[in-house]
Amino acid sequence: MSEENLNICELTKQDFKVTNPVKWCAGCGGHSVLSTVQNALPETLVKKENIVFVSGIGCSSRFPYYINTYGVHGMHGRAAPIASGIKVANPNLSVWVVTGDGDMLAIGGNHFIHILRRNINVNILLFNNKIYGLTKGQYSPTTPLGSVTKTSPEGTIENPFKPGELAMGAQGTFFARVVDTEPKMMREVFKKAAEHKGTSTVEILQNCIIFANEVHKEITGKEVRKEHQIYLKHGEPMLYGENNDKGLILVKGRLKSVTVGMDGYTMDDILVHDVMDPDDTVHYMLARMSLPELPVAMGVIRAWETGVFESMLTDQVEHAKKNTKITNVNELLRSGNTFQVD
């Protein structure tokens, strides 16, 4: 089956719903992510038989049970290699990984960097709620320094990861960030992640209502979000703020927030977002922006297309098939040094 043949389906959200109950807590950020994925999938035009959701262990990793596609609920941390095996075996499938900050950045950290390095064409939805939810409230690799949790009664003494920094460091070709309370943003970004050829990582700032409620409040709160977030779009100037008059400029190799019309800054000074820049220097700076000096970047931060592992492997296989005299196992067994004994 060619990739074009996949694109034949007109489906609706209803097609991706399941009859079994969704067992996340009421108020969990996961519900809106699920609903948005179910909305976005029809827009990818892929037959639901050609979609596989793969997960590890954790609250978010129950996701495959809640969506009407093929699915594998794997082992803690191992969603990336399981998904790699599926995609490499059958590149015609649309493969999604649903994972969390513990699953992908702690126990699965090694697999995360290696799937990015290989650039296997799967889409990773990384639910970052900065806490272990399923095991009931221990700190995770993204928990802010000093946080009091069940396993850090005096506060954590470990520096948190920023998923975007890891993604860039591992040569990830697509990185985006979204907020679980903004379905429109999620839908736009999920679709772009699906379109990207290569490993797409979408960090979802997701709220755990039980163990880390409002952990993202400073970024996502209704009153502050316009001032504290910048929704980056390819080809557009990097503007944000209540009046959309704040913008990002580059000064002495660092990003700086300025107000257009003040201190002599004009629109010409404001950076224009280029997701496709092969050089990831600016993407890296955008991904690691943090409050209070700078807004937190949302949307697609990097989307550079380059070689995809499974396509290159398929090419090698096809090339080898064309250039061999050994075309079946009987010929293989009789190749090289053999000895006829009469």
Partner 1 sequence: MAKNAKVIELDEVVVKFAGDSGDGMQLTGSQFSDTSAFIGNDLSTFPDYPSEIRAPGGTIAGVSGFQVHIGQKEVHSPGDQADVLVAMNPAALKANMRWIKDGATIIIDIDNFDNKHYKKAGYVEDPLGDGSLEGYNVVKAPITHLTRSTVKEFGLDIKTADKTKNQFVAGLLYWLFNRDIKIGENFLKRKFKNKQMLVDANIKVLREGYNYAETIEAMTTTFMVNPAKKKKGLFRNITGNQATAWGLIAASERSGRPLFLGSYPITPATEILQELASRKHLGVKTFQAEDEIAGISAAIGASYAGHLAATSTSGPGLALKGESIGLAVMTELPLVIINVQRGGPSTGLPTKTEQADLMQALYGRSGESPVVVMAASTPADCFHYTYMAAKIAIEHMTPVILLTDGYLANGSELWHIPDVNDLPDIKVPYVKENDPDYKPYYRDPESLARFWAMPGQEGLRHKVGGLEKEDISGDISHDPLNHHVMVELREAKVEKVVDYIPELEILGKNDADLLVIGWGGSYGTLLTAVEELQEEGVSLSLAHFNYIRPLPKNTADVLKGFKKRVVCEQNLGQFADYITMKHPQFEYQRFNKVQGLPFMISELKLKFKELLEEI
Q: Which one, of 299, 28, 38, lies nearest residue 179 by Cα? A: 299
Q: For residues 149 and 138, is the Cβ–Cβ distance under 8 A?
A: yes
Query: 49 vs 227, which CB is nearer to partner 1?
Result: 49
Q: Least distance (Å) from partner 1 to the CB of residue 3?
A: 13
Residue with tokens 């009469």: 342
Classified as helix, coil or strand, 116 is helix
Q: For residues 124 and 80, is the Cβ–Cβ distance under 8 A?
A: yes
* CA-to-CA separations, 329 to 18, 169, 253, 315, 318, in angstroms, rounded: 45, 43, 59, 21, 17
Query: 30 vs 71, which CB is nearer to partner 1?
Result: 71
Query: 267 vs 326, which CB is nearer to partner 1?
Result: 326
Query: 31 vs 73, which CB is nearer to partner 1?
Result: 73
Q: Which one, of 233, 128, 222, lies nearest residue 189 by Cα? A: 233
Query: 46 vs 219, which CB is nearer to partner 1?
Result: 46
Q: Least distance (Å) from partner 1 to the CB of residue 339?
A: 5
Residues that bind partner 1 (CB under 8 A): 1, 20, 47-50, 52, 54, 57, 64-65, 68-75, 78, 80-90, 92-93, 110-111, 114, 313, 316-317, 319-321, 323-324, 326-330, 332-334, 336-342
Identity of residue 172: G
Q: Least distance (Å) from partner 1 to the CB of residue 322?
A: 9
Q: Least distance (Å) from partner 1 to the CB of residue 46?
A: 11
Q: Least distance (Å) from partner 1 to the CB of residue 78?
A: 4
- Looking at 119-266, list the stretches that DSSP marks H as alpha helix, in order from N- to C-terminal side: 163-169, 183-195, 217-220, 225-228
